[in-house]
Structure 1
Amino acid sequence: MIRFENVSKRYPDGTLAVDGLDFEVGDGELVTLVGPSGCGKTTTMKMVNRLVEPTGGRILLDGRDITTVAAVALRRGIGYVIQHGGLFPHRTVLDNTATVPALLGWKRAAARARAAELLELVGLDPAVFGSRYPDQLSGGQRQRVGVARALAADPPVLLMDEPFAAVDPVVRERLQSEFLALQAQVRKTVLFVTHDIEEAVRLGDRMAVYGAGRIEQYDSPAAVLGDPASPYVAEFVGADRGLKRLSVTAITPADLDRAPLLRLGEPAAPAAAALGAQGARWAVVLDADGAPHGWVPAADLARGGTVADHTRRMPARVPLGAPLKQALSTMLQHDAGWVAVVDGDRFAGVLTPAALHEALRRSVRAGVPVESVS
């Protein structure tokens, strides 16, 4: 979808901002550009919509040289999201979101209907937020409106310039999660600029690690963390890159341990005897549909009644395919010795600290992601 062919940018004072960029962003791929301030990542992104004109090489968008397209027309066909959302303060949220369709000549009713649809998509009720102005929104809400506006004309490409940098860490993590869920639905081709290695690792299908005006490594986050291409990349991603792989290594069925299983309606005494024969001290309790309802200590079942009478809550659970980081965080949050893993609504198995450690070691040894995760 986007191809850079030996692209450079030199300013009149002789400053070489980017030098000889050669890389490609596939259709529907989210690529993060990460590096220190002044390394050329934002210049790279702005050359795609010609806010900055390259001085050498070519940029192809869906096979077409962008210099053959009028700059204004090119920009109207590319979504653009910046810090704080870049909203017009004098326009309502609905009218801000409808900006590009209106510029493209859509009828007002159609543009506003599309804006309302996109606000729903990013989790903002248009009936509640549509008539508000940007200064009546929180920072996170403004960023959601900025994303909705960028998507309003259904562009194939999104350019995102540190869009979540100006919000607090809690809101930032939530926005990242929401954006990943949104990207899974809309599958846009995205260039995402960030200075935060954690954000680049979490969001990117691939990541470009910048040095001074050049890309030092372009690969999947797991490969960059597992096999840095140079001492510079190793230093930039950090000595704790093995731990960072927790964010890009998914829980798979092979990582799970089987657990003793009981049903809610079972009589307690026979269940206790069955667990005793297995040498099990606890069991996962399933409901009639096979979903985990809770867990029960074997010792409690000796008091009689049914399994349901003794079942305890099981807050420590994560979905199959979630990153190992989520599983570890859940264990620590609930002071749990294991987490239940669910596949949809059904119980898939349990993940123990030992199994988590082995999954991470296997991922580091492989140097590639076990699964793609969101």
Structure 2
Amino acid sequence: MIRFEHVTKRYPDGTTAVDDLSFEVAEGELITLVGPSGCGKTTTMKMVNRLIEPTDGRILLDGEDIATVDPVALRRRIGYVIQQVGLFPHKTVLDNTATVPHLLGKPRKQARARAAELLDLVGLDPSTYGDRYPDQLSGGQRQRVGVARALAADPPVLLMDEPFGAVDPVVREHLQNEFLRLQSTLHKTVLFVTHDIEEAVRLGDRIAVYGAGRIEQLDTPATVLGAPATEYTAEFVGADRGLKRLSVTPVETGDLEHPPVVRLDDPVGRAADRLSADDAPWAVVLDADGSVHGWVAADALAEGSGGPTVRDRARPMAAHLPLGAPLRQALSAMLQHDAGWIAVRDGDGFLGVLTPARLHAALRRSTTADAANVPRGKVSLDTVPDA
């Protein structure tokens, strides 16, 4: 969708902002451009909509050299979201969002109807927020309006220049979640500029790590964190890149343990026999439809007090997550619930449990696999045997 061919931007004073840049962004892909201030990432993005003209090389948009396209017409085909949002203070939220469709010749009624749809899509009820003005909104709400306005003409490409950088961390995380939800539905081709490596890791299908005017590494978040291509990249992503990998390493079936499973309405004696046969200290308890209810200890089944079924002796367990969830979410749930394990499901079906030891092993296998360029399931680990 977007192709850079030996693109250079050099200013009259001799400063080279971008030096011989060549890379591609596939249709529907989100690439995060990350690096320190002044490294050329924003210049790269602004050359796509010709707010900055390259000195050498060319940029192709869907196979067309953008240098041959009228800049105003080009910009109306590309969504643009910036940190300062840039809403018109004298226009309502609805009219701000309808600006681009109206400029493209849509009738006012049709443009406003499209704007209302998009406000709803970004989580702002148009009946509540449509008639408000920008100064009546919070920072996070203004950012949502900025995203809605950028999407109003249904552009195939979005350029986003630190769009969530001016809000507090809690709102920023919520906006990131909402944007990921939108992208999973809309599949726009996105260049997303950020200085925050954690945001880049969380949002990007691939990450372009910038040095001085050049890309040091362009790869998936997992590979950038697990196998930095250069010393610069390793230093930039940080010594704690192993922890950052928790966000991009999914829980897989091979990571799970499989303790005994009993049902809520099983007789206590049958459940006790099951644990005894497996020499297990506890079992996962499922309800009638196979969903995780909690767990039961062998000692509880052996006690004389309590009712005749597992239901009367089981303890609930709220810590569970779907297969494919990131290890970071699993670790967070374990800490939140003070749990020694967490149930993993596929839909509503129980698959197994993830323990802290298995979580650690999954992270090690992921790192080793990326470094060796082999599938994660092919990696075996040397471990210290239990005493």
SS in 1 for 2:85: helix
1:91 matched residue in structure 2: 91
Q: Which runs of at least 4 in structure 1 moved beyond 6 Å after TM superposition?
A: none
Quick one: distance in 2 between partners of 1:96 and 1:264? Answer: 56
1:171 and 2:171 aligned = yes
How far did 1:275 drift? Answer: 2.4
How far did 1:269 drift? Answer: 4.0
Structure 1 residues 155 and 231, CA gap change in structure 2 (3 angstroms): same
Quick one: distance in 1 between partners of 2:283 and 2:252? Answer: 21
Quick one: distance in 1 between partners of 2:276 and 2:132? Answer: 62
**8 A contact 1:269–1:304 mirrored in 2:** no
**8 A contact 1:267–1:304 mirrored in 2:** no
Percent identical residues: 75
- 1:253-302, CA deviations, whole angstroms, 9 ceiling, x for partnerless residues? 11111132222333334323432333333222223322223333333344
**8 A contact 2:283–2:295 mirrored in 1:** yes
| Equivalent residue for 2:335, pick from 321, 332, 335 | 332
Aligned residue runs from structure 1 range 156-195, under 5 A: 156-195=156-195
Structure 1 residues 130 and 266, CA gap change in structure 2 (3 angstroms): farther
Number of equivalent positions: 371
SS in 1 for 2:250: coil
Quick one: distance in 2 between partners of 1:219 and 1:40? Answer: 18
**8 A contact 1:201–1:247 mirrored in 2:** yes
- 1:6-65, CA deviations, whole angstroms, 9 ceiling, x for partnerless residues? 111112222211111100001110000000000010010011011111111100000000
How far did 1:159 drift? Answer: 0.4
- The 10-residue stretch of structure 1 (273-282 or 237-246) with the greater mean CA deviation from structure 2: 273-282
SS in 2 for 1:85: coil
Quick one: distance in 2 between partners of 1:36 and 1:158? Answer: 22
Aligned residue runs from structure 1 range 189-208, under 5 A: 189-208=189-208
User: Which protein is bigger by CA-based radius of gyration?
Assistant: 2
**8 A contact 1:251–1:322 mirrored in 2:** yes
How far did 1:85 drift? Answer: 2.5
Structure 1 residues 120 and 309, CA gap change in structure 2 (3 angstroms): farther
Residue type of the partner of 2:137? L
1:221 matched residue in structure 2: 221
Residue type of the partner of 1:260? P
How far did 1:243 drift? Answer: 2.0
Quick one: distance in 2 between partners of 1:174 and 1:183? Answer: 14
| TM-score, normalising length: structure 1 | 0.94
Quick one: distance in 1 between partners of 2:239 and 2:211? Answer: 18
- The 10-residue stretch of structure 1 (344-353 or 19-28) with the greater mean CA deviation from structure 2: 344-353
Quick one: distance in 2 between partners of 1:234 and 1:89? Answer: 43
2:19 matched residue in structure 1: 19
Residue type of the partner of 2:208? A
Quick one: distance in 1 between partners of 2:91 and 2:288? Answer: 53
- The 10-residue stretch of structure 1 (169-178 or 26-35) with the greater mean CA deviation from structure 2: 169-178
2:38 matched residue in structure 1: 38
Quick one: distance in 2 between partners of 1:210 and 1:12? Answer: 22
How far did 1:226 drift? Answer: 1.7
- 1:186-209, CA deviations, whole angstroms, 9 ceiling, x for partnerless residues? 111000000011111111111111
Quick one: distance in 2 between partners of 1:314 and 1:50? Answer: 55
2:361 matched residue in structure 1: 358
1:341 and 2:352 aligned = no
1:76 and 2:76 aligned = yes
2:113 matched residue in structure 1: 113
SS in 1 for 2:289: coil
Quick one: distance in 2 between partners of 1:326 and 1:156? Answer: 31
Quick one: distance in 1 between partners of 2:376 and 2:248? Answer: 8
1:318 matched residue in structure 2: 321
CA RMSD of aligned residues (A): 1.7
Residue type of the partner of 1:312? R
Residue type of the partner of 2:133? Y
How far did 1:346 drift? Answer: 2.1
Structure 1 residues 264 and 90, CA gap change in structure 2 (3 angstroms): farther
